[in-house]
C-alpha cells in the first residue's frame, strides 16, 4: 500500500508541472498573439513526440524497468519549462511543447506499466484508481497555481514555480532506488512480433479506440476552454479556478470508481461517460457566465474522470505480462494520433468559424465514440483478471 501511495504522489507532482505548464503556455501563446490555429498547433506538437515514439519507449521500459524513464521524464519537464520562461517566443514554445510531450510520455508510460505490478492482482483496481486520483488532484492544483501565479507574478515566474514540482519525483527516486518493484526482463520477442499484434486483439483494440476519444476530449478542454474563456474576458485566475472544478470532479468520481465497477460493467460505464461528456461539450458555447462554465466543467469532469483509470485497468488485464509498457505505449500512440489531427482541424475551424463549431463537433465525436463503444467494447471483469493471473 505504501508503494502505490508514493507512486501516486510522484505522479501528482509530475502532472502538476505538466498540466500547469500547458495552461501557462496556452495563455502565454495567446498573449504573444497566437490565434486558435496557433493554439491547435501547440496542442499537436505536445502530441507529436508520443505519437511517434511511445511504442518504442514502451518496449525499452519493459526491459530496463520504470525508475530511470520516470526520472528522465520528470526531470525533462522541469528543465524544459525554463525555455519559455526565459525566451518568450512562439517558435521556442512550439519546440518546447514537442519535447515536453516526449518527457511526460516517458514518465506516464513507465508509471502505467508498473502500477499493475504492485501488490496482488486483486489490488489492481485500487492501484489504478489511486494513480488516477493523483492525476486528478494534480489537474486541480496545476491550473490553479498557474492562474494565480500568472496574474500576480507573471508568466516567467509562473513557469519557474511550476517546473519545481517536477524536480521532486526525480529527487525521491534518486534517494529511494528500491521503491519500485523490479520487473523480470522481457523475453526476446519472436521474429515478426510487433505492436500490431496487440492492436489485433479485439478487446485491446476496442479500449485503445475508446481511450483515444476520451483523451481527445480531455486535451481539447484543457486547451480550448482557456481560449474561449479569454474571448469572453475572464481573467487567468478565474480560468484556473474553472479548470480546477473539472479536476475536482475527476477526483470525486475516481474515489468511487471501485464501487462503480462492482455495480456495473466497465463497457457500460464508459459508454455513459462518453455520452454525458458530449452533452457537456454541447452546452459550453451557450455559456458566458463563469459559474455556469464551472458547473459544466464539473459535469464534464465526472464523465471524463472514469475514462483514464478504466482504460488503464482494461489494458493491463488484457495484455501479456511481459508487454504491459509496450501496450501502454500503443494506448499513448492512439491517443496522440487523435491529439495531432483533431486540434489542428478544430483550430482551423475555430479560426474560420468561431468556437461554437469546435465544441459541437467535439460533442458529436464523444457521443459517436460512446455509441461505437457500446456496440463493440470488450467487457472483462476484475475477477477474470485475477483468474488469468492465477493460471
How many domains is the chain partitioned into structurally?
A: 1
Is 387 among the domain residues? no
Is 184 among the domain residues? no
- pLDDT over threshold 60, residue 196: yes
With cut-offs at 50, 70 and 90, classify the pLDDT of residue 382: very low
Is 183 among the domain residues? no
What is the predicted pLDDT for the residue at 385?
42
- Interval 73-91: pLDDT, tens: 999 999 999 988 888 888 9
C-alpha 255/C-alpha 182 separation (Å) is 28
Choice between 348 and 266, residue whose per-residue pLDDT is larger: 348
Question: Domain containing 161 — which CATH number?
Answer: 1.20.1250.20
C-alpha 95/C-alpha 90 separation (Å) is 9
Question: Which whole number is the average pLDDT over 254-267?
Answer: 73
- pLDDT over threshold 70, residue 376: no
Q: Which residue is associated with the grid cell 455495480?
A: 263
With cut-offs at 50, 70 and 90, classify the pLDDT of residue 296: very high
With cut-offs at 50, 70 and 90, classify the pLDDT of residue 99: very high
Which grid coordinates belong to 57? 519507449
Which of the listed ranges 41-50, 73-82, 248-257 does the model predict with the highest average pLDDT?
73-82
Is 258 among the domain residues? yes
What is the predicted pLDDT for the residue at 160?
92
Question: Which pTM value belongs to this model?
Answer: 0.71
Is 328 among the domain residues? yes
Domain extent, residue 208, equals 2-173+198-382
What is the predicted pLDDT for the residue at 107?
92
With cut-offs at 50, 70 and 90, classify the pLDDT of residue 71: very high
Question: Which whole number is the average pLDDT over 31-60?
Answer: 82
Choice between 340 and 133, residue whose per-residue pLDDT is larger: 133
Which of 189, 195, 164, 188 has the alpha carbon at shortest distance from 81? 164
With cut-offs at 50, 70 and 90, classify the pLDDT of residue 379: very low
Q: Which residue is associated with the grid cell 482551423?
A: 348
- pLDDT over threshold 80, residue 279: yes
Is 214 among the domain residues? yes
Is 55 among the domain residues? yes
- Interval 233-251: pLDDT, tens: 888 888 888 888 887 888 8
What is the predicted pLDDT for the residue at 104?
92
Amino acid at each position: 500500500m505504501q508503494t502505490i501511495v508514493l507512486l501516486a504522489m510522484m505522479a501528482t507532482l509530475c502532472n502538476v508541472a505538466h498540466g500547469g505548464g500547458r495552461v501557462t503556455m496556452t495563455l502565454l501563446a495567446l498573449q504573444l498573439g497566437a490565434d486558435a490555429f496557433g493554439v491547435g498547433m501547440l496542442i499537436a506538437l505536445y502530441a507529436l513526440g508520443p505519437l511517434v515514439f511511445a511504442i518504442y519507449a514502451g518496449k525499452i521500459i519493459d526491459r530496463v524497468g520504470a525508475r530511470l524513464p520516470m526520472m528522465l521524464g520528470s526531470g525533462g519537464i522541469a528543465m524544459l519549462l525554463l525555455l519559455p520562461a526565459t525566451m518568450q517566443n512562439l517558435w521556442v514554445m512550439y519546440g518546447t511543447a514537442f519535447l515536453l510531450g516526449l518527457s511526460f510520455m516517458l514518465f506516464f508510460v513507465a508509471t502505467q506499466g508498473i502500477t499493475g505490478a504492485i501488490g496482488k492482482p486483486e489490488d489492481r483496481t485500487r492501484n489504478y484508481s489511486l494513480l488516477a486520483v493523483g492525476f486528478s488532484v494534480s489537474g486541480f492544483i496545476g491550473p490553479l497555481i498557474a492562474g494565480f501565479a500568472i496574474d500576480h507574478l507573471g508568466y516567467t515566474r509562473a513557469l519557474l514555480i511550476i517546473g519545481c514540482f517536477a524536480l521532486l519525483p526525480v529527487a525521491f527516486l534518486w534517494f529511494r532506488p528500491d521503491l519500485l518493484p523490479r520487473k523480470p526482463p522481457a523475453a526476446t520477442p519472436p521474429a515478426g512480433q510487433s505492436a500490431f499484434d496487440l492492436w489485433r486483439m479485439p478487446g485491446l483494440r476496442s479500449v485503445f479506440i475508446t481511450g483515444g476519444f476520451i483523451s481527445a476530449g480531455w486535451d481539447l478542454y484543457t486547451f480550448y476552454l482557456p481560449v474561449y474563456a479569454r474571448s469572453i474576458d475572464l481573467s487567468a485566475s478565474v480560468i484556473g479556478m474553472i479548470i480546477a472544478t473539472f479536476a475536482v470532479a475527476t477526483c470525486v468520481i475516481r474515489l468511487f470508481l471501485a464501487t462503480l465497477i462492482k455495480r456495473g460493467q466497465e463497457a457500460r460505464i464508459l459508454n455513459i461517460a462518453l455520452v454525458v461528456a458530449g452533452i457537456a461539450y454541447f452546452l459550453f458555447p451557450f455559456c458566458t457566465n463563469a459559474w455556469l462554465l464551472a458547473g459544466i466543467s464539473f459535469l464534464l469532469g465526472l464523465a471524463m474522470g472514469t475514462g483514464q483509470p478504466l482504460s488503464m485497468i482494461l489494458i493491463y488485464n488484457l495484455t501479456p505480462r511481459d508487454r504491459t509498457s509496450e501496450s501502454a505505449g500503443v494506448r499513448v500512440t492512439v491517443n496522440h494520433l487523435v491529439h495531432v489531427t483533431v486540434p489542428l482541424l478544430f483550430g482551423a475551424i475555430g479560426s474560420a468559424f468561431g468556437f461554437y463549431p469546435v465544441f459541437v463537433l467535439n460533442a458529436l465525436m464523444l457521443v459517436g465514440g460512446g455509441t461505437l463503444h457500446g456496440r463493440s467494447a470488450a467487457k472483462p471483469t476484475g475477477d477474470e483478471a485475477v483468474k488469468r493471473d492465477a493460471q
